[in-house]
Amino acid sequence: MNKKIPFSPPDIGEAEINAVVEVLKSGWITTGPKCTEFENKVAEYCNSDKALAVNSNSAGLELVLKEFNIKAGDEVITTPYTYTATASAAIRRGIKPKLVDIEKNSFLIDLEKLADAITPKTKAIYTVDVAGVPIDYDAIRKILKDKNREDIIFVSDSAHSFGAKYKGKMVGSQADFHVFSFHAVKNFTTAEGGAITFNENDKFGKKDLYKDFKLESLHGQSKDALSKMQAGAWKYDIVTDGGKCNLTDIAAAIGLAQFPRYEEMLKKRKAIFDLYTKFLSEKDWAIIPFTKDAIRETSYHLYLLRIKDFSEDQRNEVIKSLAAKDIATNVHYTPLPMFTLYKNLGYDIKDYPNAYNHYANEISVPVYSLLKLEDAEYVVKELISAVEKVMK
């Protein structure tokens, strides 16, 4: 009988359950004191001045564009090798993002091509920490400085990299804005949710970005719901055309309960990475994913294995073979130009050969903190068997 191995279930224990029950019994379940406590904890963890909790990474990415009035006619540069949220944030603002291919031997955006892509219309750059691997933030800074374009807003889509390190520090304060995801499949979860982290340095002429972001996330309303509910405090103003993307205290409570366990959860994920690499490094066909170098360490979110000289169809056969044994795998990512929305906007995957080549032979192997090492060993042995069967 096959072992049933899911791809990425959430690591939820009694601490999270009790924290939610406490909030449910408190009489206040939406944005309130737990959310503020959670924001402070996220900022502390990321070594940033501020954190704004939002209901998703997607909302956070768009919120930055809204706050700085980046709109149709402006240019936003990003990568085709990402989930749609990175690019669709710009599309919803009436902007067709400029996509820059990834490096030949990396899942990350090609920095030389990025530098060449900057024009007088460029207002923002959205890089992506694919699989939890930080982009070289200082290299991006240098590009902007060398081009005398430090007015460009540098946003890191850090959906995967909560807990990753750059030059010895936690990711979260290196770009102008980092936007994290705490979705159920991420290392660290609030069920749904995310956060924007940033430093209050008045760089873009904003005196109180946290206050501005808070307004934008609550319909431009001058008081949040908790403040309005105090006796006699019903009156409020609407000061901007904001949206609605605040995090709830229920979700924040889950996140607060995750923090004491998170370092141990990361260690478990690293152990799984190490085990996979131990077995796969013996195989000439395995292109082992990045984990750590002199300046960066991944958050061990996704194990993005590439299979040398494999076609897309061969990769798909491996996925089917493993699925028949109840082992769930995935692909990260189908490049954006391969989707209907992006084709209709005029993108063509032929313009992004590196993105396609990475996609065609990539398979994401299960990594999660609840996965036992003995089960991880079972997975990697079955994976090796499936790959070599297709090779025959």
Of the candidates 259, 243, 299, the one whose C-alpha atom is nearest the C-alpha of residue 61 is 243
pLDDT in 10s for each residue of the chain, 392 residues = 689 999 999 999 999 999 999 999 999 999 999 999 999 999 999 999 999 999 999 999 999 999 999 999 999 999 999 999 999 999 999 999 999 999 999 999 999 999 999 999 999 999 999 999 999 999 999 999 999 999 999 999 999 999 999 999 999 999 999 999 999 999 999 999 999 999 987 778 888 999 999 999 999 988 776 676 677 777 889 999 999 999 999 999 999 999 999 999 999 999 999 999 999 999 999 999 999 999 999 999 999 999 999 999 999 999 999 999 999 999 999 999 999 999 999 999 999 999 999 999 999 999 999 999 999 999 999 999 999 999 98
Task: Specify if 6 maps to a domain.
Answer: no
Task: Specify if 298 maps to a domain.
Answer: yes
- CATH of residue 170's domain is 3.40.640.10
Same domain, 291 and 222: no
- Return the pLDDT at 229: 66
- Return the pLDDT at 204: 87
Nearest-angstrom CA–CA distance, 87 and 224? 30
Residue at a domain's end among 255, 275, 290:
255
Beta-bridge partner residues of 306: 287, 362
Task: Specify if 275 maps to a domain.
Answer: yes
Same domain, 221 and 301: no
Same domain, 370 and 386: yes
Work out the number of other CB atoms within 10 angstroms of the CB of residue 204. Answer: 11
Nearest-angstrom CA–CA distance, 22 and 42? 21
Q: If phi over 0 gives left and psi between -120 and 50 gives alpha, with beta otherwise, what is residue 287? A: beta
Same domain, 108 and 244: yes
- Return the pLDDT at 13: 97
Same domain, 357 and 376: yes
Same domain, 251 and 291: no
Same domain, 113 and 171: yes
Task: Specify if 5 maps to a domain.
Answer: no
Q: Are 304 and 340 in contact (CB under 8 A)?
A: no
Question: Which one of the listed residues 123, 186, 214, 268 is annotated catalytic?
Answer: 186
Residue at a domain's end among 226, 255, 284:
255
Q: In what order do the strands lie in the sheet with 75-78?
A: 50-54, 194-198, 177-181, 153-157, 122-128, 75-78, 98-99
pTM of the model: 0.97
Residue at a domain's end among 255, 279, 309:
255
Same domain, 129 and 223: yes
Q: Domain tally for the chain? A: 2
Beta-bridge partner residues of 157: 128, 179
Is 186 noted as a catalytic residue in this protein?
Answer: yes
Q: Tokens in use for 59?
A: 């909302």
Q: Tell me which amino acid residue 108 is.
A: L
| Residues spanned by the domain of 353 | 262-391
DSSP letter at 350 equals G
Same domain, 159 and 21: yes
DSSP letter at 162 equals T
- Return the pLDDT at 232: 74
Same domain, 145 and 279: no
